[in-house]
Structure 1
Amino acid sequence: MEGGEQKERTRQESEPSQKRGELAVCHPGYFKASESSEKCQPCPKHTQALSTGSISCNCQEGYYRAPTDPSTVACSALPSAPLDLVATTMHNAVGKIELSWSPPADTGERDDVDYSVTCERCEGDDCLPCGESVRFEPGSTGLQDTWVSVSELEPHLNYTFTVEARNGVSQFSSKRAATTLTTALCYTDPPKVMSMRLEDQGVTSLSLSWAVSRRAQPNSGHRYELMYRKKESDSEKDVTTYTVLVLEKSSVQISDLAPGTVYVFRVQALSPEGNPGSNSMEREFQTLPEVEVQSSMPVIMGAVVGGGIMLLIVVVILLLHRRRRNPHARQGPEDTYFSSSEQLKPLKTYVDPHTYEDPNTAILKFASEIHPSHIAKQKVIGAGEFGEVYRGVLKVPGRKEVAVAIKTLKPGYTEKQRQDFLSEASIMGQFSHQNIIRLEGVVTKFKHAMIITEYMENGALDNYLRDHDGEMASYQLVSMLRGIAAGMKYLSDMNYVHRDLAARNILVNSNLECKVSDFGLSRVLEDDPEGTYTTSGGKIPIRWTAPEAIAYRKFTSASDVWSFGIVMWEVMAFGERPYWDMSNHEVMKAINEAFRLPAPMDCPSAVYQLMLQCWLQDRSKRPRFPDIVSLLDKLLRSPESLKTIADFDPRVSIRLPSTSGSDGSPFRSVSEWLESIKMSQYSENFARAGVTTMDQVLQMKNEDIRNIGVRLPGHLKRIAYSILGLKDQTSTLSVFAV
């Protein structure tokens, strides 16, 4: 009897269900989602059904289903911690590192793993969240890639970074799949100079000292650069002479000064690598006036002066003799990559290389000589006015290989073309900032001259934006603008006026950092003849240039601010051409009539208002670059401020000159119109939507255009602006509300 019961129990367990009338009831371990004639299904992986007749299988302990997972799928677990977390110091960017890691060994059998990064900074035993003082790119949460760039870090502080892996079921457990790393920047940002004081004062000498911030650690290898000059009168402003000293300690005594004269002193700290800090302190101090002395003093002083003159004559004769013996003495080929510290002292005030009698002197002073054997060209990536531009590798013995861009000078050049070509290196070599393109060095001692700069993987900003139209959020675009503004602030602090600030002259690297480039002063500013306005002083890029610079050639930092406003418009419009296809004369006329470019589509209102401030007619009322950087920082710290979108001004808009047929008459068909604005791929969309006449086109709004299937913001923008022009072909300025 017992044997029969055992056989019956075994038979039932081997079958997924048993009949109850017409319906099958599932045994434990099986389920059926609804009461129907369908067969019972075995429970998915990591699930169980303990009772008879289950309509679903519950997750086993330690396993979960995401809210969006159907009840019929397997349960999954939390991921394990990320692996191999490392921090890499970005030597070309102050206060910046890159965190990278490997995916977790166990993803919990899910493919929706992402990462978040948190930061704590520690001084001694006290640790606090980094908060908004540290910036993460592309962000700190929801990361799909296994890396993140961290900037605005302070040197000599310990930072603890925690990287957590999460998947769709992480919310159901308090356990964290995280790994941590503690690191410190010990050599990046030089200390900040806090104050400068006069220790002693003489007729021909001054003794100074200065205090630095707590960042300066004992024996940290910091040096200081002191620059001083006479405070010039109005008649002397064109002949200002600077003296630059590099010092090992935070004090100095300066002799051989003029009596009763005011001197301007500026000091900044240098890192062990020789990079200048972003801060400097400037003060004015005066030597004591010369006073009458006893009658015997003139005799003594005469003897001293006479002896000094004789000694000076001897020194001059020896120097001239030495120069005649070796008139072409220059560095040998072995003195490559880095020249002497005397050549490469960082400056705080830009020195125009064209003021040097011998242009080669400026090149040797501001640029490092590289031996051509250390440069390997790989492929052509562009062409400039003077020759081709290559991507390549710089291989200096004892140093890590770095990718570089190589500008070359085409054969058959004149000596003037060579000097014009190398003048850009003389300018670029004076700059050291993370948002200014970095000069690696030059080749001047061999037949083929070259300029070597850091390589920017994503190329020119305007092309990059056009290739990624609509793919980046406003926050990311504003972050790029902040980098450009920081670079321009640095240039304005150096008293350098760019004159040709435009998105085409901004380069973008793999981390989407933007760097100002193109410092040549004699280049062709645009490819097409209509792109520039020729005056007696040269060519001007009309669409980017301030009115006073066009009319009076008054180029200042304020005119660069106007250009930056145009760059802002280009960035928010994803590389759209400013003023579209208007001619230069139409652009100048419109600006003089107070027309300003309308807000790009989906542009935050705060960003557009800043553009309008940059385009004020009165240059004295435009914001300065420090103001612009400060405002962009505030917007980035408060992302919600970017959610309010600027409206099109219904009172003023602009037409595209291509909004009529070749004979000046309105377009005869929708397809002809779309072809004229290079949007013919949407002809079928318009036809399917029943928009077959130009009268129907003229009634369309943005929402109508979206409804027919135009999704890319750049395409939507071009079609909408073309319709604006079609509203009124009789005037450059037209009235239309989108």
Structure 2
Amino acid sequence: LPIPPLCLPPGTKQILDLPLHVLDDKKRLIRTFEVCNVAEPGQNNWLRTHFIERHGAHRVHVRVRFSVRDCSSMRAVASSCKETFTLYYHQSEADTASQELPEWREGPWTKVDTIAADESFSQVDSTGKVVKMNVKVRSFGPLTKHGFYLAFQDSGACMSLVAVQVYFYKCPAVVKGFASFPETFAGGERTSLVESPGKCVPNAEETSMTGSPGVRLHCNGEGEWMVAIGRCTCKAGYQPIDEERACQACPLGFFKVSVGDDPCHLCPAHSHAPLPGSSECVCQNHYYRSASDNSDAPCTGIPSAPRDLSYEIVGSNVLLTWRLPKDLGGRKDVFFNVICKVCLAGSSGPCVRCGDSVQFEPRQVGLTESRVQVSNLLARVQYTFEIQAVNLVTELSSEAPHYATINVSTSQSVPSAVPMMHQVSRTTNSITLSWPQPDQPNGIILDYQLRYFDKAEDEGNSFTLTSETNMATISNLSPGKIYAFQVRARTAVGYGPYSGKMYFQTSVGGERSEMVQDRLPLIVGSALGGLAFLVIAGLILVMFWPVSSTAGLGVKYYIDPSTYEDPNEAIREFAKEIDVSFIKIEEVIGSGEFGEVCFGRLKHPGKREYTVAIKTLKSGYTEEQRREFLSEASIMGQFEHPNVIHLEGVVTKSRPVMIVTEFMENGSLDSFLRQKEGQFSVLQLVGMLRGIAAGMHYLSDMNYVHRDLAARNILVNSNLVCKVSDFGLSRFLEDDASNRTYTGAPGCKIPIRWTAPEAVQYRKFTSSSDVWSYGIVMWEVMSYGERPYWDMSNQDVINAIDQDYRLPPPPDCPTVLHLLMLDCWQKERVQRPRFEQIVSALDKMIRKPSALKATGTGSSRPSQPLLSNCPPDFPSLSNAHEWLDAIKMSRYKENFDQAGLITFDVISRMTLE
């Protein structure tokens, strides 16, 4: 910036020399403005620039190059000498400055900073002054008028002004993500993000998933683009080129089916793309795509006929088998249909379709295996079977399905299976059974063969007996035993198939013979099987029950109710049943996911009455809803801590089903803070945060991951005690410090604004992800319930966090608290503090409130000064034993002595191991 001719206040002395030629510290000839009126006190000397147009800039940076004479080298004037000068600016719509205006005082001018030299000089040599140059950069804004002046005020220094450079930052025009963004000036504040709308390049379209339309980039205070919101991508039929700067049409024979960044692909088999920019390839003649095929799938044809069709007569049934068609049409989804035709003897007409009495196993249409069994056929009849091969494009083709044909002539058939058996009577050593005739005897039944065996033994140890009637008594059985029975009929052709197994039990000694027509023994057998299952389940539960490595020291871990085979068992173990007559509901105060939330009173016999909160389950619930509703009580009932909501009990034996908890008069923390904005001291807010951290420390030690920690899920009582609540997203965490994660279901809803990035991206929930959420809660508390990230969409939040954007400190937030928030928001979860450390840090702030007075953000951050593992500051304690006594852990004195933990310095370096 060229310096104009000197502008001085009228009536002042010539205290700034006209530009002089001097040598700088590198012996180069330079021009400077100099002043050195240090001998006279009360100096007020000014130098003003010409009018500088801002050209659209919102914030301006000034780089000043200058030298200052060391006052100590001028002892005669040391008392009045100074080594600083002041930089000002003044905005104006036009160049209207004169010798009188703006006035030469601070009023019309805005002070930027008082600038001091890092290095000064004190000696001269024969060639002139030897100076030491200083370079300082200052910035100011926001600027709103057409231009501005700069002014430099000297108050008694011996200095020279060598160069002044005035500049601003802007983000250059750019094409990024298939969108073009114009040149954009940086914002008026150092931390400003100026949003710049983008425009999709030709043949691209917006694919924003943020819920708000538009493609945007943000220009930061140093002229750098960051935090992209939304993006463009190439349309269907167009592919990216030139590093996401342009979209090119797919060439002939290529296609791209959808919007996206994928390249064009060669058309799949039996299809072609007749035009450039095709989004789909057209099928060739006699080839098709089914309704379930994607538009980029190959085109396929119908299958050829099945091969090697054959049959086998099995009793009164016909088993048809075949091989797959030689040509499947290019598809794997081949199915088979069976057409049955009967050709009656003596009939000159064509064969007709078989009646509904003919049965096909497994089915007649849509067979996936190359076999089918046909039953209920007539004896000595000619049948024709057609096996059609079809696939999902057969119905699109004008051609008829290809099929294979075979003729089958049935001879005299064996009888069909006996449908069922009945118990007529039983004794301690015999059972009498009866059964009906087969549905298709296919001749005269000569006799029946009965097979039976002890259910507890191998089927190979079976016995048989023959009966000429459809009733038999089986003797020589053991008392109280369960036996399996099967029966089959015989004609002149042979035996038919055995019936299915049926189970009957002999009576226990002393019972009279019973005439029964039911299947009680079968029920008994099922019950025994169920008992065996319960025993096995019990063994598995014991094997996998969480076991602490510190068993015997009183350590307690949270147990996920879903690990119980019977969820009601978890309710009985962790939640106390309350008689509904002890509860009086007085008022409905809200509604929840499963029903209403009420205010009421609870009075146990012989005890005083007190207020409670009551959640009720709405009528018409399903069993799954009831289980989900009560699971929160199964979780809550395992916790006992002053900063965790307390479960009074449940009502499950009457309607409605209820969960009863302590009543928190001030409701949820976020709405409470919004109602009381500005009414609490910083120390009170820190006290609330300390309570929440203590509750989470307790839950973390229980191996419990909350997953939904937010101010809305913190309840506040009349004494401003905060308690963690809402355990609907809880999950059990395995006791493995190296892998404390939980992978959520793909469709699980996640509170994006409160959730750590690894939990959003990979569904990895840990105590460390709860620490991230706690940092957001800190921000909510210090901003009196402000919405995190304001009106940004969830996708905008994800993008900003991924690019290392973090929430700024709320107004009047102490610096130490914001630094603690930033520690909680470390990208790498292992670098985040533990809740134990957070509680310790907040305790230190409460003990030393002066640390909470500094506000704003500093240029550098300490290396977690608040999170040290040092023991509390007890100046009166002289050794480790006294310290253990003070913290009520005297029982560990011997352990500390054995481990050499004698001094506070050694104790402070203790690790978890």
Give the TM-score taking structure 1 as reference length.
0.41
Greater helix proportion = 1
Q: Decide which structure has the larger Cα Rg and report it.
A: 2
Give the TM-score taking structure 2 as reference length.
0.33
